[in-house]
């Protein structure tokens, strides 16, 4: 091939390569616009967030649906709803964009230095007591990291919410999550010294029946606290006070209103300092759940996410800060 033919071929190839590259970039951009509409709850909020006009955002989503040949959003003047195809595109699109972002962060100079936005979710009680201090210390050590922390007792969909890390106290069932165990989620049956002075301490689990037990009202009304009698019958516990938060049961137990079964991470200091007394220790059932740091599977964890999980593990292992038993 002559030099002239090389030049002619190059002049044809370069513009076409640029066009294909531009097409791929536009697709990623359309994906980001679509996800902004979902995350922000509408076209107008997404337009404000992206610095675009409402009509431009609407046009980009319409072009995306036309290119894919399917409807992603059913929308009226009052509401919008994801179709099944839209839900799939949203979930997988978020994974793709997260992977691109993580890849770009990994290729930057100083890629091992945590930086950027980290979205974290934790339960209210555990988060306030143990995650917030970890977040504060982490941000002091890594000033280039921004953390968006959500404290909620609801089970968060990590992919749909864009959450990078969730701290969960549970028995994990979702195999798509990448989990790292931080500590056992032990629960302890306790009462205040004042309550025990007035009513006496139960000597066996069956003695809990008929007592004022402080119960969670979102579990079975007759809680059994994982105890069984010698005949295998599950205990039926009742009480005058039930609530949907362990914080409220904790306050009631401290005030001497009954016997509660509370997470050790919440009451470790109370047990160590004598404000609450552990009961039925020799009958303690095995711990069935643990506290985990979980992140979505299939995506590259950012340096910030990896470092934060490492910090949490170091904070809670080998002995968690709420440990109150000796030895």
pLDDT tens column, 25-62: 455 688 889 998 988 888 998 899 888 999 999 999 99
- Report the CATH number at residue 131: 3.40.190.10
> Strand, coil or helix: what is 215?
strand
The number of domains in the chain is 3
The full length of the chain comes to 327
How does pLDDT run across 4-35, given as a tens digit for each residue? Answer: 343 343 343 334 443 443 444 455 688 889 99
Distance, in Å, from the CA atom of 53 to the CA atom of 245, rounded to the nearest integer, reads 44
Domain containing residue 166:
108-185+289-316
- Asked if residue 168 and residue 240 are part of one domain, the reply reads no
Q: Are strands 187-191 and 80-82 parallel, antiparallel or unpaired?
A: unpaired
Tell the residue number behind the tokens 């409807």, with chain if given.
71
> Strand, coil or helix: what is 280?
coil
Using CB atoms within 10 Å of the CB of residue 144, give its burial: 0 to 12 exposed, 13 to 18 middle, 19+ buried.
exposed
Distance, in Å, from the CA atom of 18 to the CA atom of 8, rounded to the nearest integer, reads 16
- Asked if residue 55 and residue 196 are part of one domain, the reply reads no
Specify the pLDDT at position 17.
41
> Strand, coil or helix: what is 262?
strand
- Asked if residue 215 and residue 126 are part of one domain, the reply reads no
How does pLDDT run across 121-158, given as a tens digit for each residue? Answer: 999 999 999 999 999 999 999 999 999 999 998 888 88
Question: Average pLDDT over the chain, rounded to whole?
Answer: 85
- Asked if residue 181 and residue 194 are part of one domain, the reply reads no
Specify the pLDDT at position 146.
95
- Asked if residue 305 and residue 249 are part of one domain, the reply reads no
- Asked if residue 308 and residue 169 are part of one domain, the reply reads yes
> Residue 88, CB half-sphere, CA atoms under 13 Å: how many?
6
């Amino acid at each position: 091939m002559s030099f002239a033919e090389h030049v002619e071929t190059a002049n044809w190839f370069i513009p076409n390569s640029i066009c294909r590259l531009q097409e791929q970039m536009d697709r990623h951009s359309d994906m980001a616009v679509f996800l902004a509409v979902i995350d922000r709850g509408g076209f107008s909020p997404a337009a404000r967030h992206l610095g675009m006009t409402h009509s431009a955002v609407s046009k980009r989503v319409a072009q995306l649906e036309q290119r894919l040949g399917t409807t992603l959003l059913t929308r009226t003047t009052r509401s919008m709803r994801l179709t099944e195809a839209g839900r799939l595109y949203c979930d997988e699109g978020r994974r793709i964009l997260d992977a691109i972002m993580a890849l770009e962060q990994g290729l930057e100079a100083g890629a091992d230095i945590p930086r950027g936005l980290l979205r974290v979710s934790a339960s209210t009680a555990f988060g306030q007591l143990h995650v917030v201090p970890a977040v504060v210390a982490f941000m002091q050590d890594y000033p280039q990291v921004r953390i968006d922390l959500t404290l909620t007792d609801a089970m968060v969909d990590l992919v749909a919410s864009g959450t990078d890390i969730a701290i969960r106290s549970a028995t994990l069932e979702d195999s798509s999550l990448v989990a790292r165990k931080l500590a056992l989620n032990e629960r302890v049956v306790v009462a205040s010294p004042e309550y025990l002075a007035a009513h006496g301490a139960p000597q066996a689990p069956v003695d809990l029946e008929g007592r004022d037990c402080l119960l969670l009202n979102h579990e079975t009304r007759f809680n059994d606290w994982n105890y069984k009698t010698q005949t295998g019958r599950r205990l039926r516990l009742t009480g005058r006070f039930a609530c949907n938060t362990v914080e409220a049961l904790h306050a009631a137990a401290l005030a001497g209103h009954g016997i509660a079964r509370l997470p050790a991470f919440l009451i470790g200091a109370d047990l160590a300092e004598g404000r609450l007394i552990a009961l039925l220790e020799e009958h303690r059932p095995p711990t069935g759940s643990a506290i985990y740091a979980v992140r979505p599977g299939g995506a590259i964890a950012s340096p910030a996410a990896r470092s934060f999980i490492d910090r949490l593990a170091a904070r809670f292992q080998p002995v968690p800060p709420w440990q109150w038993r000796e030895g």
